[in-house]
Amino acid sequence: METKQPRPFFFCSRCHIPTRNLDAINGNANCQRVTDGGKRCGGKFRPALALEDWGGCPSCKATGRLSDRKCGNCRGYGWILMRLR
């Protein structure tokens, strides 16, 4: 049985991926995600520290995995940013 992923601290202002990287704490860290078109996302990480900011992914139960593959619903992070919903 897979274990739950730890709750993230930050999210990208553009692509909304979560991160627990504490280097993003200053609010100036750039997202390094490469888009499908091969470009860098270019968003900035923003804090999301409240418990209600994040919800465990219902598809993978916050593990980030479905059987032997990455969960497509949460992109493998296990958590979904609820603030924007």
The DSSP string of 42-57 is --BEEE--SGGGEEE-
pLDDT of residue 35: 79
Q: Give the pLDDT confidence score for residue 69 in this predicted structure.
A: 95
Residue 30 has pLDDT above 80, yes or no: yes
Mean pLDDT of 56-71: 95
Confidence (pLDDT) at 70: 95
